[in-house]
Amino acid sequence: MNPEELKAIERRRQALLEQLTAAETALRNNLHTHGFGHTAHEHMERALAHIREAYIAINEAGHARTVQQLVNDLVRIQQVMDEATQSRSIRI
C-alpha cells in the first residue's frame, strides 16, 4: 500500500472510533433515563459491551473476543450476579 492509501485507512479508522465514542456517550447518558423499563436498560448495557469490544477489535487486532464469546461471557456474568443476589436474599 502506498502512503496515501494508508492515510485513507487511518482516517476511516479514526472516524469509526469517533462514531463509537459518540454512541458510547449517548448510551451511557441514557442509562440514567427512567421510564423505559428494565429490558431497554439491559439492551443498552449489552450495547455498551459490544461497543467496547468493537473498540478493542479496531485498536488491538487479534485481542477482541468474537461476538459469541462476548455474549457467553456476559451471560455467565449475569448468572453469577443473579446467584449472588439470590444467595443474599436467602440469608436475609
- pTM to 2 decimals? 0.80
Q: What is the mean pLDDT of the chain?
A: 92
For residue 92, what pLDDT band results from cuts at 50, 70 and 90? low
CA distances from 84 to 12, 72, 76, 88, 91 (A): 43, 18, 12, 6, 11
The pLDDT assigned to 55 comes to: 95
Which helix (DSSP H) or strand (DSSP E) does residue 87 occupy? helix 67-91
**Extents of the domains making up the chain:** 3-91
> What gap in Å lies between CA 84 and CA 92, rounded to an integer?
13
